[in-house]
Structure 1
Amino acid sequence: MVSEKAVETAYQVAKERYAEVGVDTEKVLKKLQNIRVSLPCWQGDDIHGFLTPDAALSGGIGVSGNYPGIARTPEELTNDLDEAFKLIPAKQRLQLHQIYAVTDGKKKDVSEVGPEDFKFWVDWAKKNDIYLDFNPTFFSSPKVKENMTLASPEKSVRDYWIQVGKNARAISNYFGEEQKAQSIDNFWIMDGMKDEPISRLDPRERLIDSLDQINEEKYDEKNTMESYEGKLFGTGVESYTVGSHLFYNNYALTRGKDWCMDIGHFHEAEDPSDYLSSFLAFGKGMFLHLSRPVHWDSDHVPAMNDMLIKMMRALVRDNLLSKTVIGLDFFDASINRVSAWVIGTRSAQKALLLALLAPIDQLKDAENHYDYTLRLAETEELKSFPFGAVWDEFCLRNNVPVGMDWYQELKDYEKNVQFKRN
């Protein structure tokens, strides 16, 4: 067990070191306390959901691994989430997919799911002070026709999925009304083609028309805001993706909506942090999906690597946090599923804390006065500052385990709860 006294002693030293460069660690901790990260519910059950839990995944999505203890019911999934939130400092958010409706035994198609089917989740979220975000489910369905939904050449197929999208907006609005805070309704569709299409424009024009129909009803933005997530490719749609990054970037800009950028959809050698200021110089807002790309679109659990650190620095240095909701998107069944939530969220929070622990105004002033020597010298020195001591203090103040202490708690939960499911 980590000694509380040792944590406090180390924090006081860190506090003094950061004060030397004009950083108030107390103010930083207060700011971090109020930034909620949106976890992906689908990490807990490998994206099966509760409508058709035995259906095979399709639409370019696949989950690898078969670690024991998977959640099979709404109660098991919320129990696992409760355990994860016990090990993550501060209050957070949760993203739900449409297939996680709790219909109380009634057989429903995804196109029939409405706000009434998410009362279970709203009640749980209120009890735990968790904000809910939403994702309509446009995959793993026999209604997907030749890898097409909203961009299908068949009107009947488009009409079906338009209804799914309209219902999703109503559900997200319900979340916002109940939680008195905006719910992000994130649209991702798998539409595309395995081989080169003759027309790249026709499917995109159909997608625009479908999305516009979905958005016909007006909802108060204090309750819900749509975001649109581009994709690079997936299994079965390797050659052409209708909803590309640029497509949704432009759709969000022209419709006054948010753009969702999933950094897992970028090559690991790219720097997606540059997109933040490029888009938000014009756009209304952004919903981030943080994961870890390994040769594109692999949805690995976030690690505190250079890409994640750069993303958080871009948000902090350009004061973009107020226009951004930070979400996570990953699924890994090769490790304990609860541990993935804990590791991924704590990694995101650590990267954010590291970005906040810098004299941004001072560094900007140096830059504006062409003092690039100071800019480089100070940013390099900050790399060896005792950031970890501030993180440990943050955990301590939130009554969550410090360091690796969370791991033993998780192993106890695994033994006493998860492994008994099998």
Structure 2
Amino acid sequence: MIVQIPSSKRLAVTLFIGLLLGSCAGRPEGVLVPVKETSANASKVDVLVATTRKASPAPGVLFSGERGREPQLTEIEISIPPDSKRSIGQVQWPTRLPADPSKDFATLSVNELTPDKARGWVREHLPKSRRVLIFVHGFNNRYEDAVYRFAQIVHDSRADVAPILFTWPSRGSIFAYNYDKESTNFSRDALESMLRRVSEDPKVGEVTIMAHSMGSWLTVEALRQMAIRDGRVNSKIQNVILASPDLDVDVFGRQMDEIGPKRPKFTLFVSQDDRALALSKRISGNVDRLGQIDPRQEPYRSRLEEAGITVLDLTALQVGDRLNHGKFAESPEVVKLLGNRLIAGQTVTDSKVGLGEGLGAIAIGTAQTVGNAASVAVSTPIAIFDPNTRRSYGDQVGRLGESLGGTVQSAVGQ
């Protein structure tokens, strides 16, 4: 007997298989056991990790996907192999243990910290900019996944920051979507408390938050709670970057209203070919996910302009991620953009953006028609929608058109 599966179900099955193939099968367990030998050519990234996960008794695992009673703090130093041994944007997982620091990501040290020692860690690692970067991972991430991925982002972006990771209880399973979603709700208060402690430290000058996928829901909820509790988000939290946000677009609009007008600057990374978010959309009642919107189309275009939100559309960007869900971390160009501009709170749509930075980016100004915007984006892997680009848009298109030898036609005046 042959059972016919409806097309909608076939899509869901296909996406689940894709997620399964993209999982961490085959990696050795226990990569967080510190290695005894190091490599002179390797780089080091020291990360402060706060978690609401339950401690694991397994060596080198540290924390499981279950929920802990109290937040825990850990300092972890990661060794990253030389650039000649790896591609920028990639985590070089060891195939066997102990890891070889000359070619693998490896753990150098792990130290539990008290809240007072964590405060001292932040002050000791603050750069001259006094900037802190807090990263919140997404769905289907084990503790070590989040640690190594964040270390890769910090290293490859060359961000001038004190790096802090907030990792919540994800079971690291494609079949635990609802559990993971509830774990973000479980972790809202802890993230809000951490954000408040960091931003209220007089030694800290500025805080940037970067969240991926389901971690975007957790991040925006924590900021919403802070705004409701304190009347506004702390002014030191100046920039929020949401990469492939797994967020209901209607809910996000309400969250922005409740955070209020005195909110941080928001930047979104979206991609209409994000297969993981396509599955999330289907699971979540077929409501658009924020990370899949087309910023040139209404009603999003007007709403983004009104909210002052910058969007980087990565749909045309090709990376090795089969699901197109991790472009922000795997593209060398985007990772550099994160470190050079977004984490530092700078605009990405001034005259310096373009082939000079290896981006091939074009600013999609809000004064354009949708048709003209599409014509301008030809041959450009990153399209930037910025509600503040009206005045300078003509100059940007002209410069890019000259750089590409006429392959991009200006929409201005058409």
- Return the TM-score normalized by structure 1: 0.38
Give the number of the structure with larger relative contact order, counting CA–CA contacts within 8 Å between residues 6 or more apart. Answer: 1
Greater helix fraction, Structure 1 or Structure 2: 1
- Return the TM-score normalized by structure 2: 0.38
Greater strand fraction, Structure 1 or Structure 2: 2
